[in-house]
Structure 1
Amino acid sequence: MGHAAYADDIKPPPQGYALNNMSRSSNGDGGVDKSSSSVKDLDDDLKHTTTTARDLGDGDEDEDRDNRGGWRGGSRRGVAANDNDDDAGTVEEGSITERAGAGSAEYRVYKKRWFGLAILTLMNIIVSWDWLTFSPVSQFAAEYYGVDESVINWLSIGFFFIFVVVSPLTIWMLHMNPKISIMTAAALMLVGNWIRYAGSHSSDGGNFGVVMFGQLLIGASQSFVLSAPTRYSDLWFTPRGRIGATAIMSLANPFGGALGQLIVPFMVTKASDTSSMVLYVSIIATVICIPSFFVPAKPPTPPAHSGETVKESLLTSARKLSKSVEFWLLYIPFSIFVGFFNSISSLLNQMMQPYGFTSDEAGIAGAVLIVVGLVASAITSPILDRTKKFLLAVKIAVPIIAICYLIFIWMPATRDLAGPYVVLAILGAASFSLVPVALEFLIELSHPCSPEVTSTLGWATGQLFGAIFILISNALKAGPDANPPYNMDRALIFQGVVALAVTPLPMCLGLFGRQDNLTLRRLNSDTR
């Protein structure tokens, strides 16, 4: 790939330029004499006006559509002024033209990408709120539906398991077109929310079986929407904006969990309030899901060279990943930490209540975990977008996360809010900073595997671990004769031990002569 320039910065040569610089003599073969400089001078003149694509950043460039559809090669002056196709009104100033020998290709970003980003962000918020609809008020939900509190945990367990079941379909849909995945998620979420309300419409009590069915549909929808950000950012954003875009869309999911942890305890102060709470959440989900059917399928031209790279087939990608040591060293701890986050978010109320904390205080603790994490990620993601120090970020975040899980073993027993809040804040900051970095790093290491393969595998395995960890934690829960009754101390010990056990894996990345295997392949494809 050669130089890159704004198309409008390239000025045509003055009239007669080529003629005045053309040698009049010719060799015996009839070719132009070596002293002729017309092509060379013109090429040099153009090169003086160019800048590298890396210097252009992730600005809002002009857009253009290939008349035949798909990715478009070649360049054209004044695209924004002359573009009369059906994308008129959505163009952005400046076009990036990459030149390679006699060929050229235009890479642009589009204003409409922000609409899709906003929709995926909002959908991830509400689907996570759906997941934690009942966990912050598990005691009231159990009373309302006439079941034990441990049965309420199955709403989270089933939510995680169904994610794993539909993940192969998710990978296929995202590989074909992210829009299909987004619309499927919206449909499942809409139906699932209103089925839950059908089982909760009476203030006198609900039907747990109906609610469970609706919860499973919503859990299936999360697979399609949570795995989409990396594929969407690869399709619509330049290398300097992908981590930020992935972070916004992916971390919206735990932000929705924070809203659920924080708001639901104020909405439900007695068992009969459960019905109205489910109704309000269903209405919010409906408002968010309807616009998702209008998300654009893909940009007319790619944002960077990697966008037009032919991705490997799903089977080839699976074989390649199974043989990659670096993939496993990052994939395993990422999945386990996602599982622990899901587990602690679902059980935080039950972990803290035996020691005298209220549902409101436990809900605020969950919100601290997530909100501080979001703030930290908002700071680190733009920095890592520019520096690409993925490996360093991973090796800093992972030990901090493990140590936090270890220290949290003793925090509920302090019976003081300061300890749990501080530890959860640090845990959230490290965890949320890790998520977008790990997702993008996995894609970089596996390029040209399609992005949805690694992201869906990571999230699906994380959901599976989350379900398993909740089951294990339930089994480790103390009985009524313990001090205090029904405490989850053994479950907290389990979390800390496993978190420490997987920490050495990512710390081995780049060691033992394997530094060359950490090449950022997608980034190199965009910048060469």
Structure 2
Amino acid sequence: MKVPLGVVKWSQVLILFLLNVSCNLIWLAYAPVADASAAYFNGSLSVVNWLNNVYVLMFLPGSVVSALVLDRSGVRRAIQLGSILQCVGVAFCFGAAFVQNSTARIGLTVVGQAITGFAQPFFLDACPKQAYDWFPVDQRAVPTACSTIGSPVGSAVAFLIVPAVVQSQGDIQTLLLYYTCLLAGLMIITLVVAREPPPQAESALKEEVRIETSLRKSYSKCLGTKLFWLLSVTAAGGISLFSDFTSYLNQIMSPYGYTSDDTGTMGAVLVFSGVIATFVFGYLADRTRRHAVILKVNVLMVFVGYVFFSIIFNKPGNFVLAVVACAIIGIFSVGSLPVFLDIIVAVTRQHGIGEGVSMSLLWGSSQVLIVIMNVIWDRTRNPDQSYPAVPWIVLGTWAACLIPLQFYPLSQDMIHLDARLKELSGDHEGAKH
């Protein structure tokens, strides 16, 4: 019996969603239980933070390779290769648990984190391209949201699972065993179930714009596109701040009497509120095609959330208020992500730039910012292990990052980009005849 096309294409979205979930499970295997992880490595909190940095830094070379694979071989090959790399990486981390020498354990874990970090862009960069391959122009924000939110969902799940499983440093080995089995199963599913889009899928209605095949020329074009940077500076800043804020939440709050369970709940609210919002804003963007308007409002609301958190975070007993602040930040940060991705791809496609290139630059920029902020934040830690300056650094950084988006012209909103892409498609069809 032939499987309906709708079932097939949403199964592909589900696979990519699960792969993005798995990325953040590995990335946050240690940070939510920072003290136990430091004891596991017989090191300091800086060791735990630098393991996060290794994962993030390896995203950069991975982005270049993923852009090449995505634009030349497609989503299927990219996510299959990424799933294999990710499985190999977590196997290194699990193997490190059996090594007693702390230096060797750290070294093997660094290798594992590096390989899994290299694999992540094969999944994140694929989200908008998958939507463009399988869905028509007015239905792409929602599937982009569905696959992309796997990353923050993975963060939320990690904040719930890791503190529940890891009660002491010895439990980290058990956690890594679970992760190894999970990723091995997911790799098998990806290799078997991932599909190429059929020639006459619904996306045959999509605009046909000639995509530049030279990677060097594509990057050069993208770097020279002003509208791309007006969107991407704010998007990359938001992604990096949210990622660092999530991974440091336990360390920020614990000096003020909040437990790992408390910060786990905050992290879960931070992410799951955003997950719900992605569907709301994704649907709203698809229906109205007013992506820029939605984003201009949302980034201001994120600023309000960071202001609120900065005021109340260092006062013990403010658990409910902290959860409310996390909800505001999550709704408007995570909720904006698929809207950003959709309009960035539309802006760059009209210049003949493939999704792999534009996404690798966006995500790569955000990873660089993550590392920079990790180093800065680590230097602001007090001798009592508190981070009193971090929320204010976040607030100031976001105030600077949201400015470029405010200069994005509404005359280039998605509804106008759609019309422009149709014109380009018509010109392309005319040239063929």
Answer yes or no: same fold by TM over 0.5.
yes
Question: What is aligned with 1:309?
Answer: 209
State the one-letter code of the partner of 1:332.
Answer: V
Question: What is aligned with 2:116?
Answer: 218
Q: Is the 8 A contact 2:234 2:403 kept in 1?
A: no
In the comparison of the two structures, how many residue pairs are matched? 417
Q: Encode CA deviations 1:407-444: one digit per residue, 9 max, x unaligned.
A: 32233212120121111100000011210000111111
Q: Is the 8 A contact 1:374 1:432 kept in 2?
A: yes
1:342 corresponds to which of 243, 248, 255 = 243
Question: Take 1:191 and 1:322, find their aligned partners in 2: how far apart are those partners?
Answer: 33
Question: What is aligned with 1:441?
Answer: 343
Question: What is aligned with 2:375?
Answer: 471
Question: Take 1:499 and 1:164, find their aligned partners in 2: how far apart are those partners?
Answer: 22
**SS, match of residue 143 in structure 1:** helix
Matched, 1:178 2:82: no
State the one-letter code of the partner of 2:162.
Answer: V
Residues 516/413 of structure 1: CA separation in 2 closer, same or farther (3 Å cut): closer
Matched, 1:120 2:120: no
Question: What is aligned with 1:330?
Answer: 231
Residues 518/168 of structure 1: CA separation in 2 closer, same or farther (3 Å cut): farther
Question: What is aligned with 2:401?
Answer: 502
Q: Is the 8 A contact 2:266 2:323 kept in 1?
A: yes
| 1:125-204 correspondence runs (5 A) | 125-176=21-72, 177-201=74-98
**SS, match of residue 301 in structure 1:** coil
Question: What is aligned with 1:249?
Answer: 147
State the one-letter code of the partner of 2:355.
Answer: P
**Deviation of 1:501 (Å):** 1.5
Question: Take 2:112 and 2:100, find their aligned partners in 1: how far apart are those partners?
Answer: 18
Q: Is the 8 A contact 1:306 1:522 kept in 2?
A: no
Instruction: State the identity %.
Output: 25
Residues 225/418 of structure 1: CA separation in 2 closer, same or farther (3 Å cut): same
Residues 126/229 of structure 1: CA separation in 2 closer, same or farther (3 Å cut): same
Question: Take 2:179 and 2:282, find their aligned partners in 1: how far apart are those partners?
Answer: 30
Q: Encode CA deviations 1:112-134: one digit per residue, 9 max, x unaligned.
A: 22222111111111111111011
Question: Take 1:520 and 1:441, find their aligned partners in 2: how far apart are those partners?
Answer: 8
Question: Take 2:16 and 2:100, find their aligned partners in 1: how far apart are those partners?
Answer: 33
Range with greater deviation from structure 2 (381-390 or 444-453): 444-453
Range with greater deviation from structure 2 (326-335 or 200-209): 200-209
Residues 247/522 of structure 1: CA separation in 2 closer, same or farther (3 Å cut): farther
**Deviation of 1:204 (Å):** 11
* Unpaired runs of at least 5, structure 2: 427-433
Q: Is the 8 A contact 2:281 2:339 kept in 1?
A: no
**Deviation of 1:461 (Å):** 1.1
Moved over 6 A (4+): 202-206
**SS, match of residue 170 in structure 2:** helix
**SS, match of residue 179 in structure 1:** helix
Question: Take 2:6 and 2:321, find their aligned partners in 1: how far apart are those partners?
Answer: 46
Question: Take 2:41 and 2:82, find their aligned partners in 1: how far apart are those partners?
Answer: 27
Residues 227/525 of structure 1: CA separation in 2 closer, same or farther (3 Å cut): same
Question: Take 1:523 and 1:112, find their aligned partners in 2: how far apart are those partners?
Answer: 30
Q: Is the 8 A contact 1:144 1:204 kept in 2?
A: no
| 1:365-444 correspondence runs (5 A) | 365-415=266-316, 416-444=318-346
Question: Take 2:20 and 2:235, find their aligned partners in 1: how far apart are those partners?
Answer: 19
**Deviation of 1:307 (Å):** 5.6
**Deviation of 1:516 (Å):** 8.5
Question: Take 1:179 and 1:307, find their aligned partners in 2: how far apart are those partners?
Answer: 21
Question: Take 1:170 and 1:197, find their aligned partners in 2: how far apart are those partners?
Answer: 25
Question: What is aligned with 1:289?
Answer: 187
**Deviation of 1:404 (Å):** 2.0
Question: What is aligned with 1:455?
Answer: 359
Structure 2 length-normalised TM: 0.91
Greater RCO structure (CA 8 Å; 6+ sep): 2
State the one-letter code of the partner of 2:2.
Answer: G
Question: Take 1:522 and 1:141, find their aligned partners in 2: how far apart are those partners?
Answer: 53
Q: What is the Cα-based RMSD across aligned positions, in Å?
A: 2.2
Question: Take 1:130 and 1:486, find their aligned partners in 2: how far apart are those partners?
Answer: 24
Question: Take 2:246 and 2:98, find their aligned partners in 1: how far apart are those partners?
Answer: 26
Question: Take 1:151 and 1:325, find their aligned partners in 2: how far apart are those partners?
Answer: 39
**SS, match of residue 519 in structure 1:** helix
**Deviation of 1:515 (Å):** 5.0
Structure 1 length-normalised TM: 0.75
Higher helix share: 2
